[in-house]
Structure 1
Amino acid sequence: MDSVSQIALGAAVGVATMGRRTAPWKAALWGGLCGTLPDLDALIDHGDAVSNMTLHRAETHALFWLTLASPVLAGLAALLARERDRFGRWWLATWLVLVTHPLLDAMTVYGTQLALPFSDWPWGVGSVFIIDPLYTLPLLIGLAVSLARRGAPGRLRANAIGLLLSTCYLGWSVLAQTIVEDRVRGALAAAGDPAAREVPMLVTPTAFNTVLWRVVVMRGERYDEGFVSLLDGARAPRFASFERGLPLHARVRELPAVERMTRFTHGFWRLAERDGRIVLTDLRMGQEPYYVFAFAVAALSPNPGLQPLTPVRVGGRQGMEVGASLRWLRDRALGADSFPPGFPARRTMPASAPHPDLPASRAGAAR
């Protein structure tokens, strides 16, 4: 999640855990500080763009290492607060603040390596966007009320309510994600898709909400992308189909950067030739044609073969019309049947239509 959310969560957890055992401002200050510490790994340069991406949210987000660090940080907190007799409570508060940071990050789609050093698997539920005001505002409001009501009875209750509401929102996000995935798989099955229940599918919320969801369906040599709102009613989702670049993958699959990215993205990637270079794109974050993470991994050679490159980040969201995109986001969330600005909608098909991958006999039956 974004830094504001992590600071707010850390401060709220600190206040809730310390209770009346210390001044709330002390617990909030220390909680906010510890809540942002794990993200300092973003300042480390690992030598290339792919490593910098895939090694973010690694050791500093691992539950094991954070647990080992918690008593040291708690001792510092107790010393600075002049409350060494309350070291045990500071330890609990510090540990809870530290571990809730990566657990919240794991609710996004990025990938958080919670189990290091035992496993480097990047966990990512993908049910919340990296910035979501409906998660963060309850934390900020509850914390602000608790800190402002000095001496008032029950003043810590607002902070607890804020924590409860934000946690319930995370639960809602998982439920909404499940609803959308079931709806899409049901629509594909109704269209006669034999792989509807097993096909790899990514369901993630669009920016700042959990009403409008982006869906990516992997189809071997292609992938389909579409958008589903909880307010769409009974309308079947529509998808656009794109080439995935598997022939290029056969040529670069052994490059370390490609191996790392194909695993880190859980298979949601594509390869394409661009300006004489082979570019690997993470399909999980962004949307056609604008993606957050795309890396040039090799250069085409005049002779047969490729020249490996030190991975560099390319593309991004240049050319994206922010105002038009936000207006589309609002309208589409409310149920408008449209694709975002810049989206190649001319290649779309409804989920209720037979998919091009289906054999002719099944396609005819689906009609």
Structure 2
Amino acid sequence: MDPLTQGLVGATAAQSGAKKDQLRPATFTGAVSAMIADLDYYIHIPSDPLFNIEIHRQFSHSFIFIPVGALIASFVLWWFLKRYLSFKELYFYSILGYATAGLLDTFTSYGTQLLWPFLDTRFAWNLISVIDPVVTVGLLLLIGLGIYKKEKQYAWFAGGWLIFFLLFGWFQHQRATASVKNLAESRGHQIEELVVKPTIANQRVWRANYIANDIIYADAIRTGLISGIKIYEGQSAPQINIEEDFSDFEGTLMYNDLLRFKRLSENFLVRHPDYPEVIGDARYSMLPTRLTPLWGVKTDTTKTNTHLPFLYFRDASDEVRKEFLRMLLGR
């Protein structure tokens, strides 16, 4: 999730296990420790743009790295908190905070390698958006009250607040998944791969992508509570088959990068409608009904031994915002 929410959840975990007289330094320790895991975002190899995408949410978010990550956080924080906590206490609160980082990100999309290095699978449960202001504000208020009153019962309330939204997300996800399966069946499609995930900052409008007969479909599912389910049918586009479409370049650096991007995108690959040389991740777009990818790699068959550039395509125009708002409000 976003760094602020990540820190607040780490603070919640540390605060819940803190002694009353150590509640404030424990809260700070948990918050910083949880955010340290996301420093992997800054690991780059300039000549290999895909490396940063692969390394993010990898080793630093795995279960096995928790003791190491907490130790790093403890060494960093020791110079600031040694007047308030022993190193043993500091390490304990760091573990509580750092342990939340990988697990929390798993509830969002993109994928987290919790079992690295034993398994390179990216787990993504798609229950909550990477940015959800309602969740964040609730956590901020409850953690703030805990710090102000030096009462860790507020940390339990904060934990309950987060669990409520995760359970609500699971319930909404199940409804959206069932709806898109019914939609595909009504179209006469046999779903081969399916991804359903929340759109930005809410658990009402869900983006559904599925593959059927080498075609990728994008639809929006609005899961209202009183108004029920509303479906906004979206675009479709041919799925890119790397092994077939680029077979002439097998063994080149370009081909290997395409296979890497295929794995990162779970094989949801489409060509950008405005830039045919760009192969994008069909799971992410500014609107849940569109297949204009937010990011992708640019192919150049004249430079097959050079790593592929990784490009972003963001369109936050008034038209896009109004269309998204229309779906969010169920119009």
Q: TM-score range by the shorter chain?
A: 0.7 to 0.9
Cα separation, partners in 2 of 1:250 and 1:289, compared to 1, 3 Å = same
How far off is 1:219 after superposition? 2.3
Cα separation, partners in 2 of 1:307 and 1:148, compared to 1, 3 Å = same
How far off is 1:21 after superposition? 5.1
- The corresponding residue for 1:295 is 297
Secondary structure in structure 2 of the residue aligned to 1:310: coil
Aligned partners of 2:218 and 2:236 also within 8 Å: yes
Q: What does 1:96-135 correspond to in 2, within 5 Å? A: 96-135=96-135
C-alpha deviations, 1:296-343, integer Å up to 9, x for none? 1x3134xxxx734322122411x430x44333333212222xxxxxxx
The partner residue of 2:175 within 156, 176, 179 is: 179
Q: What does 1:259-338 correspond to in 2, within 5 Å? A: 259-271=259-271, 278-286=277-285, 287=287, 288=290, 290-296=292-298, 298-301=299-302, 307-317=304-314, 319-321=315-317, 323-336=318-331
Aligned partners of 2:34 and 2:101 also within 8 Å: yes
How far off is 1:70 after superposition? 3.1
Q: What does 1:56-205 correspond to in 2, within 5 Å? A: 56-71=56-71, 73-74=73-74, 80-82=81-83, 87=88, 90-149=90-149, 155-189=151-185, 191=186, 193=188, 195=190, 198-205=191-198
C-alpha deviations, 1:61-101, integer Å up to 9, x for none? 111022344356557767843466682x5444322211211
Unaligned runs of 5+ in 1: 337-367
Secondary structure in structure 1 of the residue aligned to 2:234: strand
Cα separation, partners in 2 of 1:274 and 1:180, compared to 1, 3 Å = closer
Aligned partners of 2:109 and 2:197 also within 8 Å: yes
Give 1:320's aligned amino acid. Answer: A
The partner residue of 1:211 within 192, 204, 207 is: 204
Question: What TM-score do you get using the length of structure 1 for normalisation?
Answer: 0.78
C-alpha deviations, 1:112-137, integer Å up to 9, x for none? 11111212211111222211112212
Aligned partners of 1:26 and 1:81 also within 8 Å: no
Give 2:300's aligned amino acid. Answer: A
Q: 1: distance between equivalents of 2:232 and 2:153? A: 43
Q: 1: distance between equivalents of 2:145 and 2:273? A: 54
Secondary structure in structure 2 of the residue aligned to 1:227: strand
Cα separation, partners in 2 of 1:236 and 1:65, compared to 1, 3 Å = closer
Cα separation, partners in 2 of 1:252 and 1:132, compared to 1, 3 Å = farther
Cα separation, partners in 2 of 1:289 and 1:283, compared to 1, 3 Å = closer
Secondary structure in structure 2 of the residue aligned to 1:96: helix
Cα separation, partners in 2 of 1:35 and 1:131, compared to 1, 3 Å = same
Aligned partners of 2:230 and 2:330 also within 8 Å: no
How many percent of aligned residue pairs carry the same amino acid? 18
How far off is 1:28 after superposition? 1.6
Aligned partners of 2:48 and 2:307 also within 8 Å: yes
- The corresponding residue for 1:353 is none
Q: Does 1:32 align with 2:31?
A: yes
C-alpha deviations, 1:147-202, integer Å up to 9, x for none? 1225xxxx32223212211122112112211110011112332x26252xx43111
Cα separation, partners in 2 of 1:252 and 1:125, compared to 1, 3 Å = farther
Q: Does 1:44 align with 2:43?
A: yes
Give 1:281's aligned amino acid. Answer: G
- The corresponding residue for 1:346 is none
Give 1:81's aligned amino acid. Answer: K
How far off is 1:279 after superposition? 2.0
Give 1:28's aligned amino acid. Answer: T
Aligned partners of 1:138 and 1:163 also within 8 Å: no
Give 2:235's aligned amino acid. Answer: A
- The corresponding residue for 1:362 is none
Name the count of aligned residue pairs: 319
Q: 2: distance between equivalents of 1:274 and 1:300? A: 18
Secondary structure in structure 2 of the residue aligned to 1:131: coil
Aligned partners of 2:235 and 2:291 also within 8 Å: no
CA RMSD across the alignment: 2.7
